[in-house]
Amino acid sequence: MVCVLFLIFGLSTSHAQMFKFGLKAGANFSTLEGNNFEASNYTNIHFGGVVEVKLFENLSIQPEFLYSSQGAKIDQAGFEDINFNYVTVPVLAKFYLTSKKLSLEAGPQFSFLLNQNLEDQFEAETFDFGAAVGLGYNVTEHFFVQARYVMGLTEANKDAEVTNRVVQLSVGYMF
């Protein structure tokens, strides 16, 4: 009986070290980039859940499920700023550079459009595929900060050749 309890305790402890989940939130600084399209950074938010699954000592996979509000600030008079609201699912490889503190993160991001503010003038695509790269830093065992750049690889609009560009700054808490 003691051996069984020891085995169960050991497995649950090792499982906890291999799998962590948490919450994160932060600021988006986004724009749309394309030929003959002039816009500047649009500031908004993102928030959601994050999971980290340890594969090796210095390598983890980190899928996330986020609400992300992004778009572009239009600098021309008479035009409204563009706002797209997405559910984004980045799936990142997370390589720790220094003893579980600093990490390099990179991978694909899948974005699904929830709504937009200019449907009649600027019709967005319902799916956006991108590549994300960034740095993470574990401030403590539970608190972390991240900086990330997401580059859209597919067109964000049905009528214009533009792609999303987003810089994200995040803070989070791992349970």
Domains by residue range for the chain, with CATH: 20-174 (2.40.160.20)
Whether pLDDT at 13 is above 80: no
- Picking from 149, 135, 168, 144, the residue whose alpha carbon sits closest to that of residue 69 is 168
Whether pLDDT at 5 is above 50: no
Contact 26, 171 (CB under 8 A): yes
Q: What is the pLDDT of residues 23-51, one digit of tens each?
A: 999 999 999 888 777 788 889 999 999 99
Q: What is the pLDDT of residues 87-138, one digit of tens each?
A: 999 999 999 997 789 999 999 999 999 998 876 677 788 999 999 999 999 9
Give me the amino acid identity at 36.
Answer: N
Q: How confident is the model at residue 20 (pLDDT cuts 50, 70, 90)?
A: very high
Q: How much is the pLDDT for 98? A: 78
Q: Are strands 127-138 and 82-98 parallel, antiparallel or unpaired?
A: unpaired
**Phi then psi dihedrals of residue 88, to 5 deg:** -110, 145
Contact 86, 74 (CB under 8 A): no
**Prediction pTM value:** 0.85
Cα 83 from Cα 117, distance rounded (Å): 6
Q: What percent of the chain has pLDDT over 70?
A: 87
Q: How much is the pLDDT for 80? A: 79
Residue recorded with tokens 């003691």: 2
Q: How much is the pLDDT for 124? A: 84
Task: Record the tokens describing residue 154, joined without a space.
Answer: 């597919």
